[in-house]
Structure 1
């Protein structure tokens, strides 16, 4: 890789994109011998447990679970082999994500680690090389992931929204909101959607069928409106 006026210019390329077979992980994440904290997160979106290697990865998964625009998540999915600075390199991204028609290999880093020269160079190279193969590459940092109150909102909405809502209940909720365009969260807490109003609302928020601004504290005055599924309206910005 060379630089022109401080901008990286790639002169080398991706050698191989090696997918783990059968939808498995390219390397084992959760194992007893791990000294660092690892674990699994139940995914309503994928219908299985998602593995994480750090609390930061776990928190990133909560944000992905709460984003209706994200339609697919897979952890430790591939090994990328590519040339950088004249050497063959190998890299396993933390996640593969499909969102808004994009296919993204995503890495989770602390802000400090993301600023390291080697990481910055690798990020620059992969951002330029992978679109040739139909993929994108990005790095999300702790500053973005841990932004509050979005993260805590994503966590409790994901936890409460684990059960599906029947089509009958969903239509009833749609009609209720259509009467005035929105309802307040205080009304939801008072079971304006019938029994279990809060879990129902949370599930429909996760699916993108209801919208609420999770970048702000969800107080009684927070507005809940009907959404467009998959538009990611719950936490843009």
Structure 2
């Protein structure tokens, strides 16, 4: 005999839901309207990222300075967005494949796993999907990315479909990422560079002064560490060079 659901149950079944998986192996189903940033504490990616020889995607783990742990990515484009998030001083936490969203859309049950969830220091939450520009223009893919965005924005969070960035900027950030972890450059060398760098001077000038007569390349690591941390800035839309102007922040 068939069992009919009550109207209340049918209504609840149509509520957009989010499933979050935790490191202890448990899974929690949360109505989207009740979802909070705190629900992602101690969570793990919704699905495993596997790297198989010959596969077209380049998946892997990225050692994030922001999280202090590994963050998974499924493509080189995702890794590029992850690098920029790790470099952004406004980003406080990063979650890859943070959840599964299930909702009724135009009479169909749809599910979606976002690529990243960023928690900003301001408390804002940003959901990010990464797609190559040519694929994002495909009407079917564009629609598949649009309905989660509507849910996210109605919830008061930010939504981003990221298709890439300036190639010079990305190369500069990739280079600076080599200095992202504490201990790569001795803290005393970083603090000495911070005390002595002059606002508005060229990188080559700062290196020569810090090198004290030695090879100026030897003074480069602490300056790069300061650029990664955001204590110094320069125009990263242009290739880093000795002519790059350094600006002090804070």
Superposition TM-score, scaled by structure 1 size: 0.77
**CA offset digits 1:202-224 (Å, max 9, x no partner):** 22222221112211111211111
Which stretch has the larger CA shift, 89-98 or 29-38?
Answer: 29-38
Mapped partners of 1:166, 1:134: distance in 2: 42
Establish whether residue 173 from structure 1 lines up as the match of residue 156 from structure 2.
no
Structure 2 residue matching 1:149: 3-state secondary structure: helix
Runs ≥4 residues deviating over 6 A? none
Alignment partner, residue 243 of structure 2: 221
1:23-42 map, 5 Å: 23-32=43-52, 35-36=55-56, 37-42=58-63
1:168, distance to aligned residue in structure 2 (A): 5.0
Alignment partner, residue 136 of structure 1: 158
Task: Return the index of the structure with the highest Cα Rg.
Answer: 2
Residue segments in structure 1 that go unaligned for 5+ positions in a row: 1-12, 229-237
Residue segments in structure 2 that go unaligned for 5+ positions in a row: 1-13, 24-42
Alignment partner, residue 110 of structure 2: 89
Paired residues, number = 211
Q: 1:213 to 1:99 in 2, by over 3 A?
A: farther
**CA offset digits 1:121-163 (Å, max 9, x no partner):** 2333333321343422211003x2xx22101101000013333
Structure with more of its chain in strand, by fraction = 1
Does structure 1 conserve the Cα–Cα contact (< 8 Å) formed by 2:129 and 2:145?
no
Structure 1 residue matching 2:89: 3-state secondary structure: coil
Q: 1:211 to 1:25 in 2, by over 3 A?
A: same
Bigger relative contact order, structure 1 or 2 (CA pairs below 8 A, ≥6 apart): 1
Alignment partner, residue 148 of structure 1: 167
Give the counterpart of 2:91 among 66, 70, 75: 70
Superposition TM-score, scaled by structure 2 size: 0.73
Give the RMSD, CA atoms, in angstroms: 2.6
Establish whether residue 161 from structure 1 lines up as the match of residue 180 from structure 2.
yes
Mapped partners of 1:196, 1:90: distance in 2: 52
